[in-house]
Amino acid sequence: MSARRPVFLAAAAIAISQAASAVTPADQPGAIELSLPLSVRQYGMGGVATGGNDVLRAWSNPAQLAAMSSQGEGALVGGKVLEETTMFGLGGGWRLMPDLAVGAMVVRYAFTMDGVDGYGDPTNTTVEQSVMGAGVLAAYRTEFLRGGVAFRYVAEKIVDTTASGIAADAGVQATFMGATLGLAARNLGPNLVAADEPAEVGGVTTPLEIRAGVAYRYEPLRLGAGAEFSKVVERDGRIGLGLEYWPVEFLGLRAGSSGLKDAGQLTFGFSALWQGFGLDYGVALHSTGINHRLALSYALAGTAAAASPRAAETPRPEPVAAAAPAPAPKPGAKKLNIAIAELGAQNIAAGNAAVIADMLRGELVKTGTFTVVEKQNMDKILAEHSFQQTGCTSEECAVKLGKLLNVQRMVVGSFGLMIDTYMLNIRVVNVETGEVAYADSAEGKSVPDLKGGVRELAKRMASQLR
């Protein structure tokens, strides 16, 4: 199945939610609503932002933007907070290079209340309040660390009075062996200042918020879990707990619990992916009512599989344009030891993916550049170590697999059908460093076309990998 994930959307969502939460102080109407996640997936997991590759969670921690799986993506987010509040968000992000991502976003929350006079009696009028935020963010990653920052313009309007200012967020994340640790500080900056009042008189506090979380993903079962503590200055802290399960590549389910100051709430959600499009829905069951979130996204580049948390974070670089013939190895040159992991099957039978993997093995042998581990030998070694390679698509998993097989490079990837086109996407991981040394793809409208594409892909690998 080919579905693509949100870089564009994520970035927007990130700063959007941040901007909104920064505008209103804890004791003002709407403060609780503005502190809720913009990411619909995070919303369905009890507010846990740490972990996964849902870029929308970057609103809680800008470092999350570096975890996006596709080259770029855009998204539209809408939601309802009880009866008085609606929200709207639009944004996106783009990966400038494999380790650097940037994004932009805009979000608006609108509150509508019945007007009352000084005695508390209804005036048959409507009072409107709105919060808007727009900003940019950037994130960078190394092998185990991610870091990000966001700069936002935020504004709050109550009837005819407007207060505005600049706020910033900063965050870091560390990943290791399926676990992710995250820490972020939000709403760094001066108070918002009303345009028609002196700074010492006007101004709206932008409450500093600290978030710390941990998440773990068990790839063989496609299951993830996380916990996160968040604390806004002058407000009680809260702990969110969440679970996420992907029974298949194109469907994700989640549930969680979020503790607020006076009451807790249960949350639920799901994601559906189809040919680059993504639909995310989340609902929170609170003592004061039911709240909803909905997001629509489309990946500008990358593969649909990247949408699920099982997919690797590193996007596929542009394939080599020319299919140059593989140069003959020099006499006495040492061949590169390489193995091909089980390919993820998307919208096709798993057996078809296995056939394509064997085809690629054969073409790599023909180049004379590689020493390729045979499928039978690979299965025997993995069985001896009780290693389950199903779902092994991340760099971390590829390194483990490569060390067991005693190879220098591991090939991971996916094979699937998108509309009427067969697509093979592969990444070659350096087992020693854990870095992606090469990435490429092949496609075809028919089996013969695909076979030729695999042959040319093998030649490109032979010319690029030494």
Q: Is 48:40 a contact under the CB 8 Å cutoff?
A: no
* CA atoms of 34 and 349, how far apart (whole Å): 45
Closest CA to 429 of 461, 451, 381: 461
Residue 385's pLDDT is what? 79
pLDDT along the chain (466 residues), means of 10: 34 34 36 66 90 82 83 83 77 82 86 62 69 88 88 78 81 86 85 47 61 87 90 81 89 85 74 86 82 84 40 39 46 77 84 88 90 88 78 82 90 84 89 89 80 89 83
Kindly list the domain boundaries of the chain, sorted by start residue. Answer: 8-307, 336-464
* Cα angle value 12/13/16 (rounded, 5°): 80
Q: 336-464 sits in which CATH class?
A: alpha beta
Long-range Cβ contact pairs of 258-261 (< 8 A, separation 24 or more):
258/46, 258/47, 258/284, 260/32, 260/286, 261/32, 261/235, 261/236
Identify the DSSP state of 307.
Answer: G
Helix (H, G, I), strand (E, B) or coil at 363: helix
Give the model's pLDDT for residue 202. Answer: 43
First to last CA, the chain: 32
pLDDT at residue 226, rounded to an integer? 93
**Do residues 461 and 438 touch, judged by C-beta distance below 8 A?**
yes
Burial code (b: 16+ CB inside 10 Å, e: under 16) for 225-238 equals bbbbebebeebeeb
Instruction: Assign domain 8-307 to its CATH architecture.
Output: Beta Barrel (2.40)
* pLDDT score recorded for residue 152: 83
What is the CA angle 125-109-259, rounded to 5? 110
Report how far residue 453's alpha carbon sits from residue 329's, in angstroms, rounded to the nearest whole number.
22
